[in-house]
Amino acid sequence: MTDAAARLTRREFIEAISAVGVGALGIGWAQAQDGGAGGPDDDRKIRIGVVGGGFGAAFQWHLDPNCVVPAVSDLRRDRCDHLMSTYGCDRPYDSLEELILDDSLDAVAVFTGAPDHVRHCVQVMDTGKHCICAVPAAISLEECEELIAAKERNGVRYMMAETSHYRAPAMLMRQMIQDGLFGEVLYSETEYYHPAKKGSAERQSLWYFNGEPTWRHCYPPMHYITHCTDFVVGVTGERFTAVSCMGRGATVEEDPETADNQYDNPFDSGISIMRTDRGNISRCNRSRIYYAHGERAQWFGESIAAFMPSYAGQPFVIKREGEPDITTLPSYLNLVPEPMRVSSGHGDSHTFITREFILALLQDREPALNVYDAVADTAPGIVAHQSALKGGELLPIPSFDPA
């Protein structure tokens, strides 16, 4: 047995993972707990404007003791009202373009549709404000470059709000890898299934608004895989270097709604094999058709493997060679300030995303899921889609990391 975890008894292993705490969240969280910036005596308030009253209304800005929401915006009045009541805010703006002119704001949360992310984030950062944005970071490799350039020229902070990063199994895996309790992840399998099949109410609500197609209509499936890729990029710290992807899709005769779509996208599913910069392999599945649901991963070492719960009934488990299974996850919610200890969707990840962005600004440091991590999560899907369009050709994934 080569992995440290496989050498620990069950009791020692449970003690080791029970001691897992702020380490799973980063050094800034430990500093805040020790009374540094962002600690209980820090009464500063970050002033954040929130744009996008769908998913953007599902975060805990109003519960963070170091944050206030003075302004919100959505093009839709009903969603703007929803943002105001959620975040206790009385200053609505008609659009992001107007909100970003409000000089009282330190930061803006961008929760508009994916094709608008880079344009909106660049606009935010060009006013000198920090920016947190929903996934994916970008929809083309050129946009990845534009995003990084805007962050760098303005010297502001950028974070991508990837929920997989703060699911408890991902936090535990990140800590175990850092502490040498897992060893090298030689192979991983990740998947994101969210069915919206022909004729379903789910497709109707995601694909159309007032009878018009939304940005989600026929959106290329591999352009939305950060929920998967972050289970590697955000857990082992690896970068993806190459991908081969097979796409599948219904014909226009089988699914006439897909005709002449805005992305010219023929696929509803993609299955990809990716290589990492440490020579390991990951398989990433994404589908809006399969009869399956959820965002999950399983990670394999030489004598240890970890499995997230699945739609099919697989429970959370860590299997170790010659040792009993580990089936309990640590609880992390006690690490956020007391008012933020709420059930928050996507495996309770929202409250950690909220706190990490605010803590990073208070501590004047890069957040988790910074612009380079965000692009490392996003670009593999953009290249995977190109590969699928070329029948599965193995394509290199460019690095956007600073030299």
Minimum CB separation from ligand NAD for residue 377, in Å? 11
If the CB atoms of residues 55 and 300 are measured against ligand NAD, the closer one turns out to be 55
How far apart are alpha carbons 228 and 190 in whole angstroms?
5
Binding site for ligand NAD (CB under 6 A): 51-55, 73-76, 79, 95-97, 111-114, 116, 134-135, 163, 214-215, 346
Question: What is the β-pairing status of strands 67-73 and 107-110?
Answer: unpaired
If the CB atoms of residues 59 and 182 are measured against ligand NAD, the closer one turns out to be 59
Minimum CB separation from ligand NAD for residue 214, in Å? 6
If the CB atoms of residues 163 and 269 are measured against ligand NAD, the closer one turns out to be 163
If the CB atoms of residues 46 and 96 are measured against ligand NAD, the closer one turns out to be 96
If the CB atoms of residues 116 and 145 are measured against ligand NAD, the closer one turns out to be 116
Minimum CB separation from ligand NAD for residue 71, in Å? 11
Three-state secondary structure readout of the chain: CCCHHHHCCHHHHHHHHHCCCHHHCCHHHHHHHCCCCCCCCCCCCEEEEEECCCHHHCCCHHHCCCEEEEEEECCCHHHHHHHHHHHCCCCEECCHHHHCCCCCCCEEEECCCHHHHHHHHHHHHHCCCEEEECCCCCCCHHHHHHHHHHHHHHCCCEEECCHHHHCHHHHHHHHHHHCCCCCCCCEEEEEEECCCCCCCHHHHHHHEECCEECCCCCCCHHHHCHHHHHHHHCCCCCCEEEEEEEEECCCCCCCHHHCCCCCCCCCCEEEEEEEECCCCEEEEEEECCCCCCEEEEEEECCCEEEECCCCCCCCCEEEECCEEEECCCCCCHHHCCHHHCCCCCCCCCHHHHHHHHHHHHHCCCCCCCCHHHHHHHHHHHHHHHHHHHCCCCCEECCCCCCC
Minimum CB separation from ligand NAD for residue 215, in Å? 6
If the CB atoms of residues 98 and 393 are measured against ligand NAD, the closer one turns out to be 98
- Closest-by-Cβ residue to ligand NAD is 54
Question: What is the β-pairing status of strands 317-320 and 304-307?
Answer: antiparallel
8 A C-beta contact, residue 228 and residue 240: no
Q: What's at 122, amino acid-wise? A: V
Minimum CB separation from ligand NAD for residue 303, in Å? 33
Minimum CB separation from ligand NAD for residue 221, in Å? 13
If the CB atoms of residues 157 and 167 are measured against ligand NAD, the closer one turns out to be 167
Kindly state the tokens that stand for 370: 């910074």
8 A C-beta contact, residue 150 and residue 122: yes
Kindly state the tokens that stand for 353: 């995303």
Minimum CB separation from ligand NAD for residue 354, in Å? 13
If the CB atoms of residues 87 and 111 are measured against ligand NAD, the closer one turns out to be 111
If the CB atoms of residues 111 and 316 are measured against ligand NAD, the closer one turns out to be 111
Minimum CB separation from ligand NAD for residue 148, in Å? 19
If the CB atoms of residues 26 and 54 are measured against ligand NAD, the closer one turns out to be 54
User: Residue 68 forms beta bridges with which residues?
Assistant: 47
Minimum CB separation from ligand NAD for residue 5, in Å? 29
Minimum CB separation from ligand NAD for residue 265, in Å? 16
